[in-house]
A and B are shown apart, each in its own frame.
Chain A
Amino acid sequence: MSGTFLGMPAFPGNAAAAVRDSQLRFNLHKATRTIRGKRAAVVGELPDWGELRAAGKEIKDHTLRNLDRYLLQLEEAVTRAGGRVHWAADAAEANRIVAELVEATGETKVVKVKSMATQEIGLNEALAERGVTAYETDLAELIVQLGDDWPSHILVPAIHRNRSEIREIFREKMAEWGRAAPEDLTDEPRALAEAARLHLRERFLSSKVAISGANFMIAETGTLVVLESEGNGRMCLTLPETLISVVGIEKLLPRWQDLEVFLQLLPRSSTGERMNPYTSTWTGAAEGQEFHLVLLDNGRTDVLADEVGRQALRCIRCSACLNVCPVYERVGGHAYGSVYPGPIGAILTPQLHGMTRATPASHGRGISELDASLPYASSLCGACFEACPVAIDIPEVLVHLRAKAPHPRSERLAMRAAGWIFDRPVRLARTQRFGGRLRRFVPGRLPGPGAAWTDTRDIPDIPAESFRDWWDRTEGSTR
């Protein structure tokens, strides 16, 4: 799938459908509540969490301000260590580079480590068009791939599926992709994990090419870093002869020592563990492997140009903001229609696509109706900002994007009228008196374009008299 799931209606429509799915709501409620508890416990263990968070923010801000310099430093270091660096301005270019690299090896099958960047650019689909099959190896990605489904969470893409649904997917689909699921497969998580282990083992042993992303890249040393849990990442990074890593240009850190901050922030925010089971770091061509690094822009430099919005590039994809979001918890990830769901997705997706309306002349750039609705997929409660390990002020960016998003004519007219009224106390007082007199005629639901607003809200009762009028009438100021 590409950056946005095509053909998706706007967020309010998706959300309305999602909240009626009680199985989905049950799965999400259980999962997000579990992870919130785990995160709170391990974050509470570190007395200097606030300082770590501030350090994470500053290191990222410094890197973004000097991104050109650090990318060049990284390129030099990776090249010196025997790797090759490729630059991709957009999704199509990145996909073409990867496809050509795979074709050069003569292979038609590749294994993949879970990677948001390759999902964003729709790499699997692009490779399939050129006759290359990409096999996802992360358990949740496998569930999504076998189920011909969409990811709904950054960290746990199959969070919307419960164990019995997963068992059905394994039983029905595993045989089509390789080794079939055992006949007597139960829905115990342990049994399901075992089935995935057996299903993928052959694949790991026979694959010559692997594709990964990276959590961090170190400019000074040219080192790439991948954090994972299952060992599928280590399999892909270690066994194949050729490794291709597709990484967003914002994933950079200046110094090796900066990892000390992020190796504390990320696991605790993400899986709620003191440390994730496996972290691999490698520099250039490790242990005789052929290594290619594809640096991906795909809209990131547009985000960087926005003074308020650029803080979204600090994101380390931990998904803590999803897990604490009251909107996400109820509607799930699919409603956002993007590989980046939840609060971070609501500010990242529309910015990556560019905040202007897509037209036939904009060559695929520009936002869809769904994108334009994402900045409104929030109650602005601020829980995401508090949970964010790099202090991205998501509510601030949401409000900023709401102002930039295209608005319908009726809304612009209404806002202009409201602005005119609020501009002078006299106008406001007259409007209030006029409204008070007409209060009996106000309908429960607004007609026309206003109906979208009253579909989910009650119109507040209009009082017979404004406070100011009451104050004057009862001589409040002289008492």
Chain B
Amino acid sequence: MNSRERILARIRTAVAGAPQVPLVPSRPAAAATGREIGLFAERVADYRAVVHVVDPGKEDAVITEALARRGARRVVVPGGLPQEWERAVRDHPGCEVVTDDPPLSAAELDAVDGVVTGCAAGVAETGTIVLDAGPGQGRRALTLMPDYHLCLVRAGQIVAGVPQAVAALDPARPLTWISGPSATSDIELDRVEGVHGPRTLEVIVIR
């Protein structure tokens, strides 16, 4: 008997005779309140991320300004980023735009100053952004190596809570749930932003 068979047999013996426990049906998600956008912005800011809420069409100028303020020289943009956003990145004077086609090595990614992406979903209750490696987001390393991540979230992508986000996402895609900048509480449980992931997260919410 191999270990697979042995483990399965041991499980069957262990639970034989134990009462069956029904699987709880999916829990009803809290209804949308219409306050999601404001709550999302508030909760993202709670993690000490920089948050802007702008009207549609106004985000381009904020992108350019943010990159200028950051002083980003080389910025990576994922394939499928809306053209007007990419143009806004190029509008930042002296900025070299780097694409991931052909794929950049980890060392090359480590050498860029920042990354600009969209997202797959935003969770209002927890201030979380979810990336699914889809268009405008890139593969996972793109939003990991650079020290600065500028992320754009459209109002329609924001859901009320975790249950709605889980229901909306595709588990077949590699997902990254991001709640604020990289952080640690390993030293005296004192929260410090910035260890290995981007130390600065800036979010533009398009209402």
Residue of B nearest to A97 (CB): B3
Interface residues of B in 189-205 (CB under 8 A from A): 189-190, 192, 194-198
Assess A238 versus B144: contact at CB under 8 Å? Given A58-B21, A205-B110, A305-B14.
yes
CA distance A263 to B128 in the complex (A): 12
CB-CB under 8 A from B179, the residues of chain A are: 273-278
CA distance A276 to B176 in the complex (A): 12
CA distance A162 to B192 in the complex (A): 15
Q: Closest approach, in angstroms, between the C-beta of A178 and any C-beta of chain B?
A: 14
Residue of A nearest to B18 (CB): A65
Q: A12-20, A223-231, A343-351, A425-433: which one contacts chain B?
A: A223-231
CB-CB under 8 A from B8, the residues of chain A are: 68, 71-72
Question: Does A105 interact with chain B (Cβ within 8 Å)?
Answer: no
* Contact between A64 and B176, CB atoms less than 8 A apart: no
Encoded as 1 (CB less than 8 Å from any A CB) or 0, chain B from 139 to 155 comes to 11100100000000000
- Looking at the complex, which one of B110, B126, B172 makes contact with A274 (CB distance below 8 Å)? B126
Assess A280 versus B175: contact at CB under 8 Å? Given A197-B194, A204-B196, A260-B163.
yes
Q: Closest approach, in angstroms, between the C-beta of A162 and any C-beta of chain B?
A: 6
Residue of A nearest to B17 (CB): A307
* Contact between B24 and A158, CB atoms less than 8 A apart: no
CA distance A27 to B187 in the complex (A): 10
Residue of A nearest to B195 (CB): A230
Question: Does B114 interact with chain A (Cβ within 8 Å)?
Answer: no
Q: A282-290, A376-384, A404-412, A453-461: which one contacts chain B?
A: A282-290
Assess A279 versus B184: contact at CB under 8 Å? Given A230-B197, A301-B10.
no
Encoded as 1 (CB less than 8 Å from any B CB) or 0, chain A from 22 to 42 comes to 000001001100110000000
CB-CB under 8 A from B24, the residues of chain A are: 55, 58-59, 62
* Contact between A277 and B178, CB atoms less than 8 A apart: yes
CB-CB under 8 A from A156, the residues of chain B are: 185-186, 189
Question: Does B62 interact with chain A (Cβ within 8 Å)?
Answer: no
CA distance A64 to B196 in the complex (A): 36
CB-CB under 8 A from B183, the residues of chain A are: 229-230, 277
CA distance A55 to B62 in the complex (A): 43
* Contact between B172 and A283, CB atoms less than 8 A apart: yes
CB-CB under 8 A from A138, the residues of chain B are: 186
Question: Does B171 interact with chain A (Cβ within 8 Å)?
Answer: yes
CB-CB under 8 A from B141, the residues of chain A are: 238-239
* Contact between A67 and B187, CB atoms less than 8 A apart: no
Count of residues in A whose CB is under 8 Å from the partner chain? 90
Count of residues in B whose CB is under 8 Å from the partner chain? 68
CB-CB under 8 A from A65, the residues of chain B are: 15, 18-21
* Contact between B23 and A232, CB atoms less than 8 A apart: no
Assess A27 versus B2: contact at CB under 8 Å? Given A231-B197, A238-B141.
no
* Contact between A259 and B166, CB atoms less than 8 A apart: yes
Question: Does A451 interact with chain B (Cβ within 8 Å)?
Answer: no
Assess A189 versus B20: contact at CB under 8 Å? Given A234-B144, A260-B166, A277-B181.
no
- Looking at the complex, which one of B7, B127, B195 makes contact with A232 (CB distance below 8 Å)? B195
Question: Does A269 interact with chain B (Cβ within 8 Å)?
Answer: no
Q: Quick one: which of A27, A61, A231, A238 has the most chain B CB within 10 A?
A: A231
Question: Does A333 interact with chain B (Cβ within 8 Å)?
Answer: no
Residue of A nearest to B180 (CB): A277
Question: Does A478 interact with chain B (Cβ within 8 Å)?
Answer: no
Residue of A nearest to B142 (CB): A238
* Contact between A239 and B166, CB atoms less than 8 A apart: no
CB-CB under 8 A from B181, the residues of chain A are: 277
CA distance A189 to B83 in the complex (A): 41
CB-CB under 8 A from A295, the residues of chain B are: 7
CA distance A283 to B125 in the complex (A): 26
Interface residues of A in 63-86 (CB under 8 A from B): 64-68, 71-72, 81
* Contact between B106 and A279, CB atoms less than 8 A apart: no
Residue of B nearest to A163 (CB): B187
* Contact between A275 and B185, CB atoms less than 8 A apart: no
CB-CB under 8 A from A261, the residues of chain B are: 27
- Looking at the complex, which one of A163, A218, A257, A278 makes contact with B176 (CB distance below 8 Å)? A278
* Contact between A257 and B26, CB atoms less than 8 A apart: yes
Assess A221 versus B172: contact at CB under 8 Å? Given A231-B197, A301-B11.
yes
Question: Does B174 interact with chain A (Cβ within 8 Å)?
Answer: yes
Question: Does A209 interact with chain B (Cβ within 8 Å)?
Answer: no
CA distance A163 to B115 in the complex (A): 33
Question: Does A175 interact with chain B (Cβ within 8 Å)?
Answer: no
Question: Does B133 interact with chain A (Cβ within 8 Å)?
Answer: yes
Q: Closest approach, in angstroms, between the C-beta of A325 and any C-beta of chain B?
A: 16
* Contact between B184 and A163, CB atoms less than 8 A apart: no
* Contact between A68 and B11, CB atoms less than 8 A apart: yes
Question: Does A264 interact with chain B (Cβ within 8 Å)?
Answer: yes
* Contact between A62 and B22, CB atoms less than 8 A apart: yes
* Contact between A260 and B184, CB atoms less than 8 A apart: no
Q: Closest approach, in angstroms, between the C-beta of A80 and any C-beta of chain B?
A: 10
Q: Closest approach, in angstroms, between the C-beta of A84 and any C-beta of chain B?
A: 13
CA distance A193 to B182 in the complex (A): 11
* Contact between B133 and A283, CB atoms less than 8 A apart: no
Question: Does A139 interact with chain B (Cβ within 8 Å)?
Answer: yes
* Contact between A158 and B186, CB atoms less than 8 A apart: yes
Assess A34 versus B15: contact at CB under 8 Å? Given A230-B184, A260-B166, A297-B10.
no
Question: Does A196 interact with chain B (Cβ within 8 Å)?
Answer: yes
CB-CB under 8 A from A229, the residues of chain B are: 182-185, 195
- Looking at the complex, which one of A71, A189, A255, A283 makes contact with B187 (CB distance below 8 Å)? A189
Residues of A within 8 A of B (CB): 27, 30-31, 34-35, 51-52, 55, 58-59, 61-62, 64-68, 71-72, 81, 87-89, 93, 137-140, 143, 156, 158-159, 162-163, 166, 189-190, 192-194, 196-197, 200-201, 204-205, 218, 221, 223, 229-232, 234-235, 237-239, 249, 254-257, 259-261, 263-264, 271, 273-283, 286-287, 295, 297, 301-302, 304-305, 307, 310
Given A65-B19, A234-B176, A235-B196, 17 more contacts at CB 8 Å? A30-B189, A71-B11, A166-B187, A190-B194, A197-B194, A204-B106, A223-B171, A234-B144, A235-B144, A238-B141, A255-B23, A275-B179, A278-B177, A280-B175, A281-B171, A281-B177, A304-B10
